[in-house]
Structure 1
Amino acid sequence: MSKVATGQDIIKWFEEWSPKQLAFEGDPVGLHVGTLNKKVNKVMVTLDVLESVVDEAIENNVDLIIAHHPLLFKPLKQVSPDNEKGRIVQKLIKHDITVYAAHTNLDVAWGGVNDAMCEALGVNVKDVLIETERERLYKVVVFVPQTHENEVREALGDAGAGHIGNYSHCTFQTPGIGAFKPEEGADPYLGTEGEIEKVDEVRMETIVPQSVLKTVLKAMDQAHPYEEVAYDVYPLELQGEKKGLGRMAELDEPMTLESFAERVKDAFDVPALRLVGDKKKMVKNVAVLGGDGNKYISAAKRKGADVFVTGDLYFHVAHDALGMGLNVIDPGHHVEKVMKRTVHDFLKEKFEQKQISTDVMISKAHTEPFQFM
């Protein structure tokens, strides 16, 4: 029978994909208004939290709003109906609507905003634009009775252990003899109190990223038959998965800058965009960064980009791009709206996997502040 998820459940699953620690320092990600300690019948995904979005949430009986752009970039000095922020907070509290923001962490996360933009553009992702971290890796070694090796192996892999390249559930094991003596008060799976018990066991080892280490250990403990599980955790010098802001991608075939700009317009459904460079020049290597990419034109050039797709381009930065021979396409900041479908689909799939009846919807409110003439 399906059940309704709590806010804590939903954000736990969400942060397994887009953990808060990926966010840039000072970025106010996470809970903004309300509580996660409640049942959530409906989630709404939005780019921005404007008053029109909150009104839409109220009309649709939404319990939780997940936004890309934080509602509160700075602390409020007062909550008053005389300004939009105050009215928003009052409405949210009155109608018990929780707001959670995933900003730069969703930009950095694989499968997040920048990957969604690349998918919309039909380009093949090759690398990150700016590396921000390499995830730390650990070796987990657990000693398992041979009768339960399959159960424990599956639990480890299902929890995220053993990912090497395009392979999952990777483990190595060797047979051996485990020995133990249950003492007074023990409740052993095998053996008798006060007597040495010897068991045919395997030493099973696997590689685990830091982000899922606690989840993996919990799953291992639940699948293991012993009252006290014997295991070791070793930090590794190996580098884990690269994470970073923006993406370096490649077109299947070269095309003119003008043709690619038309593709960008169509992909993001924008009526106009700004173009820097020679429209007749051929491009193949594409840098993509949602939002404000002014600080990263040099990085795009160093990475070998022929064209940089980003937003909020400044006048003088456009001159700098021309000077270094980098073409730039600026379709605006609002094209990050592609994250709405991405987050919606992630949650919908997760709810189906978990047999959760919680509904998820995409906000239809228009939050692009600019009009084009």
Structure 2
Amino acid sequence: MSKVATGQDIIKWFEEWSPKQLAFDGDPIGLHVGTLNKKVNKVMVTLDVLENVVDEAIEQGVDLIIAHHPLLFKPLKQINPDHEKGRIVQKLIKHDITVYAAHTNLDIAWGGVNDAMCEALGVKVKDVLIETERESLYKLVVFVPETHEEEVREALGNAGAGHIGEYSHCTFQTPGIGAFKPEDGTNPYIGTRGELEKVEEVRMETIVPRSILNKVLQSMEQAHPYEEVAYDIYPLELQGEKRGLGRMAELEEAMTLESFAERVKKAFDVPSLRFVGDKDKRVKKVAVLGGDGNKYISAAKRKGADVFVTGDLYFHVAHDALGMGLNVIDPGHHVEKVMKKAVYDYLKNAFEQKQVATEVIISKAHTEPFQFM
């Protein structure tokens, strides 16, 4: 693995997992500082882009920072190094460090922030808390010579096409005769220029989610022997995978609110937390939402949650939760730090699969703003 990936390659692979279209409208995701049009020897994953994180990146020789919380929530009117934001931008540009942010898209993506929180808590995910979309599905039909049927089917399945429930590589094929005449300037795999050719082919059909359609088409064309591949794409009325903010999960066995609060404290390695409710009440169904979950206590109650794990709980919202009989555990906002390991694992696996020598590291800089007594 001698070659390194470009920034464009890395973000392309990353967005196959956490595509931009999942993000809320107005969320400042994507490229914040620098360019992706360069080779990247080292990537650093962080929750926040603070000055100590940038200093760490400079010391470690990092080329690209991938963060959960956007550096620029609001546009800067000036880049003044007398202020922290200005110093951060100045240092990033001076040391050619690119910053990319994946915020609500990483919250919503399966395997992202909220799933990482559930994994840390040891609860089994059952559903999303707030459904935001159902992915569009397409029927892909490709015409393949019988000699390459297995190669094309394998390429489609490995690229993610043909997933139905717990089954993968689902296809249907019917035999037939394909006819074509290679014109001048062609280099046909089968046939002779200027002569009509008839070939025993199969019509292969499969289902493809919108988010990976381009990836599937690319894999299909690489596996297909023809110079020009004949295929059709049809939009389907069927709804694809559900996506949404937060997760509904369950404990293996019910436990008291106090015991579960202790589990939350240990899982997220926090020195203290707040909770609302009767400490002796037993809980089993758990709603989980990283960050500020104040707007979603009613949704958690409607979904049947016994307890809602979220951050930044307001005083009056806590009263509302008490009034509706919903237990809430607030371990803070910074527990979203679990995303660092999730993103690290994804990128490390992607780099190994793509056989690139780009290194990925996790930021060790402290970004929790609060101190506890």
Q: TM-score range by the shorter chain?
A: over 0.9
Give the structure 2 partner of residue 342 of structure 1: 342
Give the structure 1 partner of residue 37 of structure 2: 37
Cα distance in structure 2, aligned partners of 1:250 and 1:205: 37
Identity %: 87
Cα distance in structure 2, aligned partners of 1:141 and 1:202: 10
Give the structure 2 partner of residue 132 of structure 1: 132
Question: How far is 1:186 from its partner?
Answer: 2.5
SS of the equivalent of 1:155 reads helix
Give the structure 2 partner of residue 301 of structure 1: 301
Cα distance in structure 1, aligned partners of 2:112 and 2:185: 50
Question: How far is 1:323 from its partner?
Answer: 0.3
Question: How far is 1:225 from its partner?
Answer: 1.2
Cα distance in structure 2, aligned partners of 1:20 and 1:244: 14
Cα distance in structure 2, aligned partners of 1:185 and 1:96: 46
Give the structure 2 partner of residue 367 of structure 1: 367
Give the structure 1 partner of residue 333 of structure 2: 333
RMSD: 0.8
Output the amino acid matched with 1:99: V
Question: How far is 1:330 from its partner?
Answer: 0.2
TM-score if structure 1 supplies the norm length?
Answer: 0.99
Cα distance in structure 2, aligned partners of 1:14 and 1:110: 13
Output the amino acid matched with 2:102: A
Output the amino acid matched with 1:166: E
Cα distance in structure 2, aligned partners of 1:2 and 1:186: 36
Give the structure 2 partner of residue 245 of structure 1: 245
Give the structure 2 partner of residue 351 of structure 1: 351
Output the amino acid matched with 1:244: G
Output the amino acid matched with 1:299: A
Cα distance in structure 1, aligned partners of 2:254 and 2:262: 14
Cα distance in structure 2, aligned partners of 1:62 and 1:357: 14
SS of the equivalent of 2:236 reads strand
Cα distance in structure 2, aligned partners of 1:354 and 1:192: 37
Output the amino acid matched with 1:279: K
Q: How many residues align?
A: 373
TM-score if structure 2 supplies the norm length?
Answer: 0.99
SS of the equivalent of 2:322 reads helix
Cα distance in structure 2, aligned partners of 1:364 and 1:110: 25
Cα distance in structure 1, aligned partners of 2:168 and 2:95: 44
Give the structure 2 partner of residue 288 of structure 1: 288
Structure 2 unaligned residues grouped into runs of 5+: none
Counterparts in 2 of 1:133-282, with a 5 A limit?
A: 133-282=133-282
Moved more, 235-244 or 195-204: 195-204
Cα distance in structure 2, aligned partners of 1:178 and 1:357: 43
Cα distance in structure 1, aligned partners of 2:197 and 2:87: 68
Question: Over residues 84-118 of structure 1, what are the superposed CA-to-partner deviations in whole Å (9 max), with x where a residue is unaligned?
Answer: 00000000000000000000000000000000000
Counterparts in 2 of 1:316-331, with a 5 A limit?
A: 316-331=316-331
Question: How far is 1:187 from its partner?
Answer: 2.0
Give the structure 2 partner of residue 68 of structure 1: 68
Output the amino acid matched with 2:16: E
SS of the equivalent of 1:272 reads coil
Output the amino acid matched with 1:361: I
Cα distance in structure 2, aligned partners of 1:32 and 1:337: 20
Cα distance in structure 2, aligned partners of 1:329 and 1:345: 28
SS of the equivalent of 2:130 reads strand
Question: How far is 1:308 from its partner?
Answer: 0.1
SS of the equivalent of 2:165 reads coil
Give the structure 1 partner of residue 58 of structure 2: 58
Question: How far is 1:214 from its partner?
Answer: 1.2
Cα distance in structure 1, aligned partners of 2:371 and 2:204: 60
Give the structure 2 partner of residue 312 of structure 1: 312
Moved more, 351-360 or 297-306: 351-360
Question: How far is 1:2 from its partner?
Answer: 3.3
Cα distance in structure 1, aligned partners of 2:222 and 2:338: 38
Output the amino acid matched with 1:265: K
Cα distance in structure 2, aligned partners of 1:147 and 1:247: 46
Question: How far is 1:184 from its partner?
Answer: 2.6
Question: How far is 1:55 from its partner?
Answer: 0.3
SS of the equivalent of 1:244 reads strand
SS of the equivalent of 1:208 reads strand
